[in-house]
Chain A
């Protein structure tokens, strides 16, 4: 038999008829695209265009940027921001590396406990360490003498506060980097007679280098865009993040606010690009046949690692404990009587219990709607086979929020929604805009969690369902969602906790009747009500801890019911 006869070049292309499932998926993808355009792309475009306009909306090119460079105060802030961010990134990455090393490579006791302690700062607003530092090292501070005459108000305070705030973020990245290693490499090194130092330098460090780079940039971005810590403890030391706040909220100079926002976007974009690059490389490090590493006891080393972890966890607990104590003590440090009065927020100007309940409501709505939208969105993107371009565009839109600092997104939202000509203007000053903004702000990580869970499922579920003539939505409900339930619960917890603690974006968007707990901390501290600010910050911590425990209970119950199949 000869090779197949040449195929007829003029044979008509088969135009596949779309099934109802394909229409469902296409409609879903379009809906997600529309939401992301309206609530991510267009606001950012508004920010971009505002930075090229004068106060009357006329195009002025780079004039605003030129003005930024000519204003000495602003360029000084830029220099300060860079200094603080680099120092914090170096310090946090180094400390978190040793801590992660202790947790993954030593046999010290209570590793799970120390991991839990180190992650506690995730449950607190970034304003909290600032307040604690004021109590410890401020003008009336317990340990003011430790400062040896230097002031905590300024770069020193900012760096300590930022290290506290960014430590768990760096730790999580480095834990991942250090836990994916191949034990066979160490065995080979042992056989070849390599010493401990040589093994560390030739295997451990190279293996973790992408994690280190990633952690450095993540911390750098968090610090340069955070304004919670510098606002509370920065004193006269100005940074870009507080400048945006001053320009927009204080001076209503939207153009300059937009310029500073655009400039803050640069390091974040750089960090984002580096992180993406690094993650692609990191994956390739571990082959399917790698053998997981398990550490061997070594008394001296284990003790040293334990001492280090006790020190770090102790500092974290001290800062949290200081805020808790401050919220109960009558008048620090003169009258240490335990009282409840600081929790009576109605006595302060900065906030009230209503703010707290607003925060709880906002976080609950964010968790509920955010989880539903993000998971469904990830499903539509993942299961879509056609519309390659639209799908690619939506995937890109899903990644953008990670590259946009909350502060920048908040400013962008004002510019976009305050505009009376915008039909979405009705959302301005509502609870809805706070929820939408928060979902958008934390979209990417939640999206990636959902995508990972979906990718772990057999890609042929939908094919099976189609061949059995079962509509895709039924398979989504009966199979996809139950199987992905652990990821769905994780997403909702992530959204709730972040909605509770975030300040950066919502500080621009709240209205008198939608003040939030985290914003109340800021305003109380501003007004000099530092003890109530500590009390409100602790309310956020308590709530997050309770929700975290609830999540653990719920996961357990749901897993027991829906994941019975996981047990053999």
Chain B
């Protein structure tokens, strides 16, 4: 999907978009292309500019400089009513005094659609989101998850070319959220509507998106598929923000080799830094694996603490002469290894799982 998206003309293209509020720069020179039918997530901590960028795409808060082109049309300066977007807000903004059916049909009335056609379209959408039997209820009378789907149906009613979702699942319980993730993704595939979703929940982004745009302090840190973002984080920020990560200070020991404490590790990812340069070596806890004798990058470590997490155990390891490292083992594996706090364990950090960044 990601590969397909990079070929052909983009459906939505954001070119050098910046936005400032007074002296505060909320967006710094954002450039991004989104393909038709693609599901893209803007992910980042609060205040990173992801919602600002979404609102600029919607036309709700127009950017200070830069261009936004949708389906070949320059929409940079147009108000939302002149763009082809459907929006689902974090609060849903359902009209409390209108029924579910009237909410869904709200945008159809002003298009001069005849009553019968309107009703048919509303029925179709309610069936699509599975709310047919709730059509006569008011928003306050249905659950949060159902409200979310009403908001989605309302945004989709007018068949917009671009669907914008602003933290659409953040107001829901964990269980409902997990269920709706799948529903929303399936619906998006089925309709093929190009979708941009803002979220601060990495799990949501990783499970739903074709591509993730990781943002921080108003600029883009990395754009890539969930696997790329997780497996090959491009910056220390991405490495730290997505998932858990061990950061170890080390130095370049030679071509393709780094030294951390008294351990020397093979690191193929290291390219061409001079020997002696200080670097940050990153390894995910699940990539710290039990090792036998002669395996590459293996070392003995003392098990300082063990934390029980249910299916997994988190171990804090003390490698010789280096900072502590966190490792995660499945409970089954831990039993087999006879893991106990205070014991010693031989582990390895495979070279192809290491990420090296210049000193932070």
A474 to B106, CA, bound (A): 10
Residues of B close to A3: CB separation below 8 A: 219
A14 CB within 8 Å of chain B: yes
Q: How near does chain A come to B22, taking the closest CB pair, in angstroms?
A: 12
What distance in Å separates the Cβ of A334 from its nearest Cβ neighbour in chain B? 61
With beta carbons under 8 angstroms apart, the residue of B29, B62, B86 that contacts A4 is: B29
CA distance in complex: A463, B95 (Å): 12
Distance in Å from the Cβ of A560 to the closest Cβ of chain B?
13
User: Does B271 reach chain A (CB closer than 8 Å)?
Assistant: no
Against B, the Cβ 8 Å flags (1 = close, 0 = not) of A544-568 are 0000000000000000001111111
**Interface window among B116-124, B133-141, B198-206, B343-351:** B133-141
Whether the pair B93, A461 counts as a contact (CB closer than 8 A) is yes
- Does B318 lie at the interface of the complex (its beta carbon under 8 Å from any beta carbon of A)? no
Distance of A13 from chain B, by nearest CB (Å): 6
Q: Is the CB of A568 within 8 A of B140?
A: yes
Q: Which of A16-24, A53-61, A179-187, A521-529 contacts B (4 or more CB under 8 A)?
A: A16-24
CB within 8 Å of B: which A109-159 residues: none
Q: Specify which chain A residues have a CB less than 8 angstroms from the CB of B66 in the assembled complex.
A: 11, 14
Neighbour of A566 across the interface among B30, B60, B77, B140, CB < 8 A? B140
Interface positions of B from 175 to 195, Cβ below 8 Å from A: none
A28 at the interface (CB under 8 A from B): no
Q: Are B86 and A460 in contact (CB under 8 A)?
A: no
A474 cross-chain contacts in B, Cβ below 8 A = 109-110
User: Are the CB atoms of B82 and A17 closer together than 8 Å?
Assistant: yes
- In the complex formed, the residue of B with least CB distance to A9 is B65
Contacts of A6 on B, CB cut-off 8 Å? 29
Least Cβ–Cβ distance between A485 and chain B, in angstroms:
9
User: In the docked arrangement, what's the CA distance between A14 and B15, Å?
Assistant: 12
A565 CA to B158 CA, complexed, in Å:
25
Which residues of B lie under 8 Å from residue A562 when comparing CB positions?
97
| Known contacts A1-B222, A464-B93, A467-B58, A11 near B158 by CB under 8 Å | no
**Number of B interface residues, CB 8 Å?**
51
Q: Known: A11-B66, A464-B89, A474-B110. Contact between A565 and B96, CB under 8 A? A: yes
In the complex, the answer to whether B111 meets A469 with C-beta atoms within 8 Å is: yes
Q: Residues of A contacting B264 with CB < 8 Å? A: none
Contact digits for B24-62, partner A, Cβ 8 Å, 1 yes 0 no: 000011100000000000000000000000000011101
Interface SS, A side: loop
- Expressed in whole angstroms, the minimum distance between the Cβ of A476 and any Cβ of chain B is 12
In the complex, what residues of A have CB within 8 A of residue B340's CB?
none
* A435-B249 Cα distance, complex, nearest whole Å: 78
> Chain A contacts of B106 at CB under 8 A?
464-465, 468, 470
Asked if A4 contacts B63 (CB within 8 A), the reply is: no
Q: Which residues of B contact A422 (CB under 8 A)?
A: none
CB interface residues, B 213-228, toward A, < 8 Å: 219-222
**Chain B residue with minimal CB distance to A483?**
B97
Q: When the two chains form their complex, are residues B28 and A7 in contact, meaning their CB atoms are under 8 A apart?
A: yes
A479 at the interface (CB under 8 A from B): yes
Please determine whether B77 and A14 come into contact, CB atoms closer than 8 angstroms: yes
Q: How far is the CA of A5 from the CA of B29 in the complex (A)?
A: 7
Residue of B nearest to A7 (CB): B29
A8: chain B residues at CB < 8 Å are: 16, 29, 65
CA distance A190 to B348 in the complex (A): 59
- For B59, what are the chain A residues with a Cβ–Cβ distance below 8 Å? 466
Query: In the complex, what distance in Å separates the CA atom of A109 from the CA atom of B229?
Result: 67
Is B98 a contact of A478 with CB atoms below 8 Å?
yes
Taking a contact as CB atoms under 8 Å apart, the answer to whether A479 and B85 are in contact is no
Let me know if B138 and A21 touch, CB within 8 A: no
Contact A466 B62 (CB under 8 A): no
Query: In the complex, which range does the number of interface residues on chain A fall in?
Result: 35 or more
Q: Given contacts A467-B86, A469-B111, is CB(A564)–CB(B138) below 8 Å?
A: yes
> Which residue of chain A has its CB nearest to the CB of B17?
A14
For chain A, residues 1 to 46, give those with C-beta under 8 angstroms from any C-beta of chain B: 1, 3-8, 11-22
A567 to B96, CA, bound (A): 11
Question: Are B97 and A19 within 8 A (Cβ)?
Answer: no
Chain B residue nearest to A22 in the complex (CB): B79
Q: Which chain B residues border A11 with CB–CB below 8 Å? A: 16, 18, 65-66
Query: Which A residues are CB-close (under 8 A) to B289?
Result: none
Is B28 in contact with A19, judged by CB distance below 8 angstroms? no
Is there contact, CB below 8 Å, between B62 and A16?
yes
Which B residue's beta carbon lies closest to that of A484? Answer: B97
| A8 to chain B: closest residue by CB | B16
Complex Cα gap A110–B86 (Å) = 53
Complex Cα spacing A467 to B87, Å: 7
The interface centre, meaning the residue of A4, A15, A562 with most chain B CB atoms within 10 A of its CB, is A4
Complex partner residue of A565 from B91, B97, B220, CB under 8 angstroms: B97
CA distance A483 to B140 in the complex (A): 13
Give CA–CA (A12, B158) in the complex, Å. Answer: 33
B81 at the interface (CB under 8 A from A): yes
In Å, the complex CA distance between A187 and B311 comes to: 42
Q: How far is the CB of A353 from chain B (nearest CB, A)?
A: 42
Shortest distance in angstroms between B75's beta carbon and chain A's nearest beta carbon? 10
For B18, what are the chain A residues with a Cβ–Cβ distance below 8 Å? 7, 11
B110 nearest CB across to chain A (Å): 5
A458 at the interface (CB under 8 A from B): yes
Closest chain-A Cβ to B121's Cβ sits at a distance in Å of 13
Q: How far is the CB of B236 from chain A (nearest CB, A)?
A: 11
Selected contact of B140 from candidates A5, A18, A565, CB within 8 Å:
A565
Query: Could you tell me the distance between the alpha carbons of A522 and B86 in the complex, rounded to whole angstroms?
Result: 62
Residues of A457-505 contacting chain B, CB below 8 A: 458, 460-461, 463-471, 474, 478-479, 482-483
CB-CB < 8 A to A463: which residues of B?
A: 58, 60, 80, 87, 89, 93
Whether A16 and B97, one on each chain, are in contact in the complex, defined by CB atoms closer than 8 angstroms, is: no
Q: Is B64 an interface residue (CB 8 A)?
A: yes
Q: Who on chain A is nearest to B19 by CB?
A: A14
CA–CA, A471 to B111, complex, Å?
11
Contact with A along B250-288 (1 / 0, CB 8 A): 000000000000000000000000000000000000000
Find A460's partner among B83, B93, B109 (CB 8 Å cutoff). B93
B149 CB–A CB distance under 8 Å:
no
Residues of A within 8 A of B132 (CB): none
The answer to whether B77 and A565 touch across the interface, beta carbons within 8 angstroms, is no
Whether B212 is near chain A, meaning CB under 8 Å from some CB there, is no
Q: Which residue of B lies closest to A3 (CB)?
A: B219
Given A1-B221, A12-B65, A468-B106: 19 more A-B contacts, CB < 8 Å: A1-B234, A4-B28, A7-B18, A11-B65, A14-B63, A14-B64, A21-B81, A464-B93, A464-B154, A466-B60, A467-B155, A469-B107, A470-B106, A474-B110, A479-B95, A479-B98, A483-B95, A563-B97, A564-B138
**What are the nearest 8 A-B pairs in CB distance?**
A468-B107, A19-B79, A565-B138, A460-B93, A4-B219, A11-B65, A7-B29, A16-B62
Cross-chain pairs A/B with CB under 8 angstroms, 26 sampled: A4-B28, A6-B29, A7-B16, A7-B18, A7-B28, A7-B29, A8-B29, A13-B64, A14-B63, A17-B79, A18-B79, A20-B81, A463-B89, A466-B80, A467-B83, A467-B85, A467-B87, A468-B110, A469-B110, A471-B110, A474-B109, A483-B96, A565-B97, A565-B140, A567-B140, A567-B141
- Report B's interface with A, CB cutoff 8 A: 16, 18, 28-30, 58-60, 62-66, 76-83, 85-87, 89, 91, 93, 95-98, 106-107, 109-111, 138-141, 154-155, 157-158, 160, 219-222, 234-235
